[in-house]
């Protein structure tokens, strides 16, 4: 297995594709690419409808998967709000690739869902790209979890377009409008994931002792607003400032475990409160005896969170051959005040692994054994041989 990633900031798309493809060929040597993840900034509108055709001309026989983006990631660098093209190519011997096109999300039991998705492999890993303006991506990943439990689903939502019709999804030589595209991977391939949600805990974990839907009525037997008032009084000044506009809830998603790991908390917004009853609404369904932890997010916390998860991933064993990064448009230079933050930290912790991707309008990745649509997150997919 070989991977290569290239970035071009040529103003013309034809020239950008030639430059990036030439770099990819040089890195792969005599191994022709089977898959190319292609991400292009909106500055190349309207010529980006030819992206799949242009990549296929330079790298014949490859499956092109990609989308439009506010910013792209390639060759270890991040370019936001400027003309850019990223090509990340992989030669994948022993791996079966099946392109996927989804125009609407099917419903039903697992057998019906598998038939509707039409994926040949019984246990595929899925890389997914969706248009957030035309398809409910949260519903899509939920249906895919039902159809293919325990398998990796990772990806992001196209960005760069402000209204329906402005985003494009690329699959093969086609430039598609709306829905979702992806690739199902099976065979001699292992995929590890890192989902860095950029938060740190405050206070201590609590149990949801009374709830209704997504509304918490009691935490450890107390109204949650009373808990928050008590918690605020214990915080240092910096955290009190963050408390005003960067407070989140982390919800434990592994219902089959008594103990939980910090990285398996699903981060969700606080969406409402009732000052009369002290109840709090969270952006996720809840159940009694579920762990809930209040969290804060800022640039320093996001960096520490990603560094910890990258260190943990490195300890798992064999290094990856290549990686894809799906990062929120709210991260990058907007959050960290400088470009290349997550890419540079990845290179520092993991090594010179080819890395490409884009800045998304939402990130798809697993937490606690289930797949979710996230925000303000960096979701990495790390690829290596299974054998």
Q: What phi and psi values does residue 251 have, to the nearest 5 degrees?
A: -115, 130
| Confidence band, pLDDT 50/70/90 cuts, at residue 54 | very high
Q: Which two tokens stand for residue 291?
A: 């762990």
| Confidence band, pLDDT 50/70/90 cuts, at residue 117 | very high
The percentage of residues in the chain with a pLDDT greater than 90, rounded to a whole number, is 89
Interstrand relation of 279-282 and 355-360 (parallel, antiparallel or unpaired): unpaired
| Confidence band, pLDDT 50/70/90 cuts, at residue 254 | low
* Average pLDDT rounded to a whole number, residues 7-30: 97
What confidence tens digit (pLDDT) does each residue in 346-369 have?
999 999 999 999 999 999 999 988
* Average pLDDT rounded to a whole number, residues 243-255: 86
Q: Which two tokens stand for residue 179?
A: 């829905």
Examine the pLDDT at 261 and tell me if it is beyond 70: no
* Average pLDDT rounded to a whole number, residues 142-152: 97
Query: Which run of H or of E encompasses 311?
Result: helix 299-314
**Contacts with 5 (C-beta within 8 Å, 6 or more apart), sequence order:** 24, 27, 74, 75, 76, 86, 87, 88, 89, 322, 354, 355, 356
Question: Please, are residues 35 and 75 in contact by the beta-carbon 8 Å criterion?
Answer: no
Q: Is the pTM of this model over 0.85?
A: yes
Question: What's the rounded Cα separation, in Å, for the pair 345 and 311?
Answer: 10
DSSP β-bridge partners for residue 305: none
What confidence tens digit (pLDDT) does each residue in 278-332 have?
999 999 899 999 999 999 999 999 999 999 999 988 877 788 999 999 999 999 9
CA distance between the termini of the chain: 11
Of 121, 165, 129, give the one whose Cα is nearest residue 38. Answer: 129
Question: Please, are residues 20 and 33 in contact by the beta-carbon 8 Å criterion?
Answer: no
For 277, half-sphere exposure in the C-beta direction (CA atoms, 13 angstrom radius) is: 13
Q: Is 124 exposed, middle or buried (0-12, 13-18, 19+ CB in 10 A)?
A: buried
Q: What is the per-residue DSSP string for 353-375?
A: --EEEEEESSEEEEETTEEEEES
What confidence tens digit (pLDDT) does each residue in 193-235 have?
999 999 999 999 999 999 999 999 999 999 999 999 999 999 9
Examine the pLDDT at 173 and tell me if it is beyond 90: yes
Examine the pLDDT at 259 and tell me if it is beyond 90: no
């Amino acid at each position: 297995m070989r991977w290569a990633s290239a970035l071009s900031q040529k103003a013309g798309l034809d020239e950008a594709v030639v430059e990036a493809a030439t770099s990819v060929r040089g890195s792969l040597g005599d191994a022709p690419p089977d898959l190319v993840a292609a991400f292009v900034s909106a500055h190349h509108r309207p010529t980006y409808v030819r992206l799949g055709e242009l990549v296929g001309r330079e790298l014949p026989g490859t499956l092109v998967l990609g989308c439009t983006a506010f910013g792209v990631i390639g060759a270890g660098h991040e370019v936001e709000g400027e003309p850019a093209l990223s090509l990340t190519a992989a030669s994948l011997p022993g791996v079966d690739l099946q392109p996927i096109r989804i125009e609407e999300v099917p419903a039903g039991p697992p057998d019906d869902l598998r038939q509707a998705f039409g994926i040949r492999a019984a246990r595929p890993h899925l890389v997914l790209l969706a248009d957030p303006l035309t398809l409910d991506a949260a519903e899509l990943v939920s249906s895919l979890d039902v159809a293919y439990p325990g398998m990796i689903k990772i990806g992001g939502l196209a960005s760069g377009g402000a209204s329906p019709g402005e985003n494009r999804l690329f699959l093969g030589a086609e430039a598609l409008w709306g829905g979702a595209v992806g690739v199902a991977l099976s065979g001699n391939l292992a995929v590890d994931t890192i989902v860095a949600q950029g938060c740190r805990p405050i206070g201590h974990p609590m149990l949801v002792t009374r709830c209704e839907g997504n509304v918490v009525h009691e935490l450890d037997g107390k109204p949650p607003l009373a808990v928050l008032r008590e918690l605020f009084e214990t915080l240092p000044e910096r955290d009190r400032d963050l408390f005003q506009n960067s407070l989140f809830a982390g919800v434990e998603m592994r219902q089959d475990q008594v103990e939980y790991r910090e990285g398996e908390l699903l981060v969700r917004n606080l969406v409402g409160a009732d000052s009369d009853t002290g109840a709090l609404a969270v952006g996720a369904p809840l159940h009694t005896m579920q762990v809930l932890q209040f969290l804060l997010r800022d640039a320093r916390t996001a960096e520490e969170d990603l560094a910890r998860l990258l260190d943990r991933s490195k300890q798992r064993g064999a290094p990856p051959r290549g990686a894809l990064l799906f990062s929120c448009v709210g991260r990058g230079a907007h959050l960290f005040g400088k470009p290349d933050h997550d890419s540079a930290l990845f290179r520092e912790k993991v090594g010179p692994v080819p890395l490409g991707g884009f800045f998304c309008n939402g990130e798809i990745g697993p937490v606690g054994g289930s797949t979710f649509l996230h925000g303000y997150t960096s979701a990495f997919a790390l690829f290596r041989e299974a054998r």
